[in-house]
Structure 1
Amino acid sequence: MPWSWEGAVVSTEAQRGSAVSATLSTVWRERFGDRAPVAHELPARFPERWVRFHSLPGSKRYATDAFERATVLHRHYLVLTELFAGREVFILTSTFSGAPHPPPRTRFDVRINPGAVRWRSFLSSEGTDPEFIAFTHVYAAYTPWRDGSLDRLLSAAAQWRTANVMIADGGLERLYHPYDGGADVLLADSVERNVLRDRHADWLSVHPSGM
C-alpha cells in the first residue's frame, strides 16, 4: 500500500526509508542544529524542558522479578501515551562499531526496531589507539503510536541491552529516552514539563539535580 508523508505518496520501502531519513534530518537540524543525536546529552542542553523519571520505587535500577518488570513497562507506557497518543512517532535506536560504515543489523536490533532505516552515523569517540575509535549508527522508524507496541525495545533499554534509544513526535518537540533505571523526557516548554513532572512526582529522584 502506498504510504504518504505530507501529501506525497511514497510507493516503495526504499522511498519510504529515504523520506523518513530526509525529513528527520531536516527537523533535527531545526531543533538541535549540528548536534549529534546523543540522547544523554540533551538534558544538559535543555534543562528547562527536561525531567527524569525512575522506573521502580526507591530508584531501584534493575527489575528482579515479573512484578517489577511489569512496573517498568507500566511507567514507560503511561508517560509515552500521555505524550504521543494519536500521533505518529520517530523510533530511534543505535548500533555501535569501530568503522564509519555499520555491519548488517543483528536479529536483535531488527526485532527491537523493525522497519527502521539507517538515518546517520557519526564518530562518537576517538583516540590514538584504533581499538578505542567508535562510531554510532542511528536507525529510524516512523509509525503511529500504539500503547503496548514497544515491549521488546523498552525491556531491552531497561536491561541495558541497547542504548541511545529515543522516541519522539514528528516535530521533535517531545522526546523520550528510556534507559536502564528510568527515562529522560524533553517537553515542548517548561510549563508542559512542570505539568508532567508534578503528575508523576512519586517517580522523581530525591537528588536535588533531579538525576
Structure 2
Amino acid sequence: MRFHSLPESKRYPDTEDEWAIVLGRYNTVLDELFAGLDVHVATMDWSGTPVPPERPHEQTRWHPGAHHWTSVLTDPEPGDPVYTHVYVSRMPWERGCIDTLLRAVADDATAGVLITDVGLRRIHHPYDGGADVILATSAERDRLRARHSDWLSAHPAGL
C-alpha cells in the first residue's frame, strides 16, 4: 500500500511544519511496523562498474555504519552498463534513528531505500512524496490502511 507524506498528496515540504508532518508520518508507520525489533536499512548507489567506487560523503552521512552487501547489473546496455550497489546496516528500531536518511529521501537527494525487519516480513520503502509498505498478510495491511486512511491517495489505483 502507498501512503502520501503530506496532506492533499503534496510531494515536497516547503516549511519546517511540513517537514515535521513528513517525518512524523514516516516514523509513525515505521514504529507500527518495527517497534522493539532490529531492522535492516538498505541504501543504494549506482555506477558503471561491478566494483563499487568509494561512497560519496553524503551517503555515508545519511547511512552511517552501512557496509557493501552486493552489486547487481541492473542495466546491461552495451558500452554503458549500470550496476546497483547495495549497502546494508542493522540496528534496533527507534523513532527518529534514520531521520537524516528519511529527510534526504523526502528531498529527492537519494532513492532506493528499504527498511525491513530481519525476517523480511515487512518492508517500508520511502520515496519523495510518500512510502510504499509491503506486509506479510492482507489483514495486517488492512489494519494499517484503516489507521491511516487519511494518508492514502484519492486516486482509484491508490497511487
Q: TM-score range by the shorter chain?
A: over 0.9
1:126 Cα offset (Å): 2.7
Counterpart of 2:5, as a letter, is: S
2:75 aligned to which of 125, 134, 138: 125
1:202 Cα offset (Å): 0.2
Q: Which residue of structure 1 lines up, in the alignment, with residue 59 of structure 2? A: 109
Q: Which residue of structure 2 lines up, in the alignment, with residue 65 of structure 1? A: 15
Q: Which residue of structure 2 lines up, in the alignment, with residue 87 of structure 1? A: 37
Which string of whole-angstrom CA distances, capped at 9 and with x for unpartnered residues, describes residues 8-54 of structure 1?
Answer: xxxxxxxxxxxxxxxxxxxxxxxxxxxxxxxxxxxxxxxxxxx1000
1:112 Cα offset (Å): 1.2
**Separation in 2, partners of 1:57, 1:125:** 36
Q: Which residue of structure 2 lines up, in the alignment, with residue 99 of structure 1? A: 49
2:152 aligned to which of 196, 204, 207: 204
**Separation in 2, partners of 1:67, 1:124:** 38
Give the secondary structure class of the aligned counterpart of 2:50.
coil
**Separation in 1, partners of 2:14, 2:22:** 11
1:194 aligned to which of 127, 136, 142: 142
TM-score by length of 1: 0.74
Counterpart of 1:75, as a letter, is: R
TM-score by length of 2: 0.97
Q: Which residue of structure 2 lines up, in the alignment, with residue 141 of structure 1? A: 89
**Separation in 1, partners of 2:146, 2:29:** 12
Q: Considering fraction of residues, name the structure with more helix.
A: 1
Instruction: Select between 101-110 and 169-178 the one with higher mean Cα deviation.
Output: 101-110
In percent, how many aligned pairs have the same letter? 52
**Separation in 2, partners of 1:206, 1:120:** 38
Q: Which residue of structure 1 lines up, in the alignment, with residue 107 of structure 2? A: 159
Q: Alignment length, in residue pairs?
A: 159
Output the aligned Cα RMSD.
Answer: 0.8
1:209 Cα offset (Å): 1.0
Q: Which residue of structure 2 lines up, in the alignment, with residue 35 of structure 1? A: none
**Separation in 1, partners of 2:124, 2:153:** 17
Q: Which residue of structure 2 lines up, in the alignment, with residue 171 of structure 1? A: 119
**Separation in 2, partners of 1:177, 1:137:** 17
Counterpart of 1:58, as a letter, is: E
**Separation in 1, partners of 2:48, 2:107:** 23
Higher RCO (CA < 8 A, seq sep 6+) = 2
Q: Which 4+ residue blocks in structure 1 deviate beyond 4 angstroms?
A: none
**Separation in 2, partners of 1:125, 1:152:** 29
Which string of whole-angstrom CA distances, capped at 9 and with x for unpartnered residues, describes residues 121-171 of structure 1?
Answer: 10111323x24x211100000110011111110001111111110000010
Structure whose CA Rg is larger = 1
**Separation in 1, partners of 2:68, 2:157:** 35
